[in-house]
Amino acid sequence: MASTAPQSPAQALPTEWRDFFTLTKPRVMTLVIFTAICGALAAPGAIHPVLAFTAILAIAMGAGGSAALNHWWEADIDAGMKRTMNRPLPGGRMRREDARDFGVFLSGVSVALMGVAVGWLAAALLLAAIVYYAVIYTMWLKPRTPQNIVIGGGAGAFPPLIGWIAVTGEITAMPLLLFAIIFFWTPPHFWALALFVQSDYAKVGIPMLPVVAGERATRRQIMIYTLVLAPIAVAPWAIGATGWVYGSVAVVLSVLFAALALPGGARMRAEVDAMTPEKTLFRFSIVYLFVLFAALVADRVAANLGWLA
Amino acid sequence: MSPEEEAEFRRRQKSRNLVVAGTLLFFAVLFYAITIARIGDG
């Protein structure tokens, strides 16, 4: 990881440890950790608290490792965008190979840790998630298709699945449904943001949907994914895997999400436009995911305490 | 290397060493706890 060999004047000094921490995308990691914990807490069965902690730690480290690989691969792209030009690599504070080695090392340790401490099914899924994000998404599909956000959503959908399977040790319908919920939630969430935030993606050649297919197509896609998401979000209750606590919350949230997505989907931007429906939809999408997963855990806790007969 | 650069070099090296030491210590304790937990399981 560390090298003191000077590459440029800025590289004569060893890289600050904080820059390695930045490579792991700590803000993205908070959502990863939250959904992974919810997956583990909502799963039926028991796991030793130390092993549960280790499972969450391994998931977080895997997310950090693949994020570092993303920094390594996209250093040139990041240099061309205002939002990312001051990251450790484009900022010239770190050697590119160091980011790659750090990412590979962190990813490898996370998978080994999961395998040794928790189980090899969870470890294999963690490895799949890392390869999916770092290779399939970052290197292959992100620069090639305007559906890149849909593909990227798959990477974010792994943590609750792995958290659940770390506890149960088997793949069942419920962890797959949790995966599907985040998978179909991501496109409306991200595209709502993309509609009102001016980004530099076009400049660096990443084909984001609003840029490539236009605003009308983006709005239609938001509506479609929101409508597909609703039955999937309610499904855990419909198949009897959760109680009415989760079921009622899922129904209410789905109706609200659709009610916010449909007006935005039908309209077009005016000459002067505050983009209020899009901003509201984006903010609500965050609340939606947070409350939905919290309800999942609350449902399990209520069932364990015998409140749900 | 000027004295200022030398001092900065040492400061960064030291803070990195401390982070690595802390991480290693954390993992030593974690693996001890994992071992106890797994033996207890079974």
Domain positions in chain A: 16-170, 172-309
Q: What is the pTM of this model?
A: 0.91
Dist. CA A181–CA A153, nearest whole Å: 10
In the numeric block, the tokens 């750090």 are attached to: A102
Dist. CA A89–CA A25, nearest whole Å: 13
pLDDT, residue B42, reads 56
Nearest alpha carbon to residue A160 among A133, A181, A188: A181
Structure tokens at A270: 């005016």
The model's confidence at residue A5, banded by pLDDT at 50, 70 and 90, is very low
Question: Could you tell me the sign of the dihedral formed by the alpha carbons of A40, A45, A51, A55, in that order?
Answer: negative
Contact A23, A88 (CB under 8 A): yes
The model's confidence at residue A128, banded by pLDDT at 50, 70 and 90, is very high
- Looking at residue A137, what DSSP letter applies? I
Dist. CA A72–CA A156, nearest whole Å: 19
Q: Which CATH class is domain A16-170?
A: mainly alpha
CB distance from A116 to chain B under 8 Å?
yes
CB distance from B28 to chain A under 8 Å?
no
pLDDT digits (tens, 9 = 90+) for A50-71: 999 999 999 999 999 999 999 9
In degrees and rounded to multiples of 5, residue A3 shows phi and psi of -145, 135
Structure tokens at B38: 């797994």
pLDDT value at A11 more than 60: no
CB distance from B32 to chain A under 8 Å?
no
Distance from CA of A95 to the nearest CA of B (A): 16
Nearest CA in chain A to B40: A48
Rg of chain A, C-alpha, whole Å? 20
Q: Where are the domains of chain B?
A: 1-42
Dist. CA A178–CA A159, nearest whole Å: 9
pLDDT value at A287 more than 90: yes
Question: Could you tell me the sign of the dihedral formed by the alpha carbons of A219, A221, A225, A227, in that order?
Answer: positive
* A51:B15 CB<8 A: no
| Phi-psi category of residue A242: left, alpha or beta, with phi > 0 → left and psi -120 to 50 → alpha | beta
What is the average pLDDT across A288-304? 95
Structure tokens at A282: 């984006």
Which of B9, B18, B34, B39 is best to mutate for the A interface (most A CBs within 10 A)?
B34
pLDDT digits (tens, 9 = 90+) for A141-158: 999 998 899 998 999 999
pLDDT, residue A4, reads 44
